[in-house]
Amino acid sequence: MTQSSAQTPDQALNQTVASSDPATQARILAEQLLEAQVAFVKARLSDAEVSDHAASLINFCLEQGKDITLEEVVSAQSIRDVVQVYAFDLNLGAGVIELIGAMAQRLYSEANHLAPTLQTLISSHQLEQWIDKILELDQVRHHLVQAVLQSPAAHEVIGQIISSLLKKQLPNWREQISEQLGSGWMAKTPLLPRLMKLLLQQEEKLLSIAEQHLSQFIQNQGTQLLNLDAEELKDIAWQVWLNIKDIPFNELSSGIEALDIEEFFVLIYELWRELRQTEYLQRLIFTGIDVFFEVYGAYPVSELLEEIGISKQHLINDGNRFLPQAIAALNQHHVLDQLIRLQLADFYSNVTTLKLIQQGLANPALYQPQPPV
């Protein structure tokens, strides 16, 4: 009795392929090719030279990008659509709001730890440039002050503030008289109620006169501000700066708590949600997009990147920072090979691909390299 030798998996597979019909043979070979290509791509992405492969790809894309313009790759309308969705329509989820709260707590703590002085954040030279630029806007300053001084609503607000301050400063003499004379003092002294009424009327007249004069004084001071020249205003601003430049930043914000920062952000976000729906703001943003494409639409993509300050080395450095770690994480979670297979599987299961493989199996001579003439 003869003993048959055991077959290896490859031998068994070859025997199965040989005994199958041509269509099955093509399908089995296609699956083998798919697995081989997945393994090859995965190994290439996982090796230590993946950064070199990424650099080669970036070089190739930038080289080809010299002949491809921005408007060929993306349109102004597509950018408009993206802005419409993410800037005008998208609302932050609850998770982002919660994140803002956590960030506010941490930022508050960090901002108060070893806080720098104001002159560390902005130099005196920089502040002087800002002051000079603001003072150049002479017409704007005059217009704003005049608008306030000529506004009836502003005058009314100023009058209310002055009235409130004066009433708080005046002594409550009625209560003082009551305390001194005791209960029932009005019945004991019949003439006092008349005297009290007369004094109250005089007090109201005095308050009205004081309000008018103080309001007029404030308006006159505003007019005087208009008459100050740029050098005088600059000197005032500079004196203010000299008095506060050495104050640590956290002292200026000593009354602000972490919750205040969070609430300020929420208020700003709610304001933005309303403003972003206005036709005016959307028109300004879309105009900016249109101008960008008018200037850079005909630029080759490679030149555009250089024009805005992004060099080839920037792209390569970013690839080295993120690509190896991302690939390692995908590989660790057994996702990398699945992603590669998703990209290739349809090709190897395609009818045209299977027919080509079947033809190659039936006529191998057609795919043999021809000898040189």
- The tens digit of pLDDT for each residue in 37-49 reads 999 999 988 888 8
CB atoms inside a 10 Å sphere around CB 30? 20
Ranking 13-27, 86-100, 235-249, 297-311 by mean pLDDT, the lowest is: 13-27
Q: How far apart are CA 238 and CA 236, in angstroms?
A: 5
Residue 34 and residue 45: Cα distance in Å, rounded? 17
Range from 118-127, 155-164, 361-370 that averages highest in pLDDT: 118-127
Rounded mean pLDDT, 168-194: 57
For the chain, what is the radius of gyration of the CA atoms?
40
Residue 175 lies in a domain: yes
| Number of domains the chain is built from | 3
Query: Which segment of 17-31, 124-138, 139-153, 250-264 scores lowest on mean pLDDT?
Result: 139-153
* Same domain for 143 and 173: yes
pLDDT at 2: 46
- For residue 152, being part of any structural domain is answered with yes
For 34, other C-beta atoms within 10 Å of its C-beta total 18
pLDDT-based confidence at 3, cuts 50/70/90? Answer: very low
Residue 253 has pLDDT above 70, yes or no: yes
Domain ranges, residue 88: 69-115+248-299
Is residue 281, in this structure, part of any structural domain at all?
Answer: yes
333 in any annotated domain: yes
b/e burial code for range 249-265 (CB count within 10 A of at least 16 → b):
eeeeeeeeebeebbeee
Task: Answer whether residue 108 shows pLDDT above 70.
Answer: yes
The whole-model pTM stands at 0.67
pLDDT averaged over every residue in the chain:
81
Q: Is the pLDDT of residue 213 over 90?
A: no
One domain for residues 181 and 208: yes
Question: Mean per-residue pLDDT for 234-242?
Answer: 88
Please indicate, yes or no, whether residues 169 and 257 belong to a single structural domain of this protein.
no
Tokens found for residue 226: 């208009």
The answer to the question of residue 22 being in a domain is: no
Asked if residue 100 and residue 64 are part of one domain, the reply reads no
Which of 246, 262, 280 marks a domain boundary? 246
pLDDT at residue 82 greater than cutoff 90: yes
pLDDT exceeds 60 at position 178:
no
- Do 222 and 198 belong to one domain? yes
What 287-292 contacts at long range (C-beta under 8 Å, 24+ apart), as own/partner pairs, is 289/76, 289/79, 289/80, 289/83, 290/76, 292/76
What pLDDT shows up at residue 1? 43
In a domain, 143, yes or no: yes
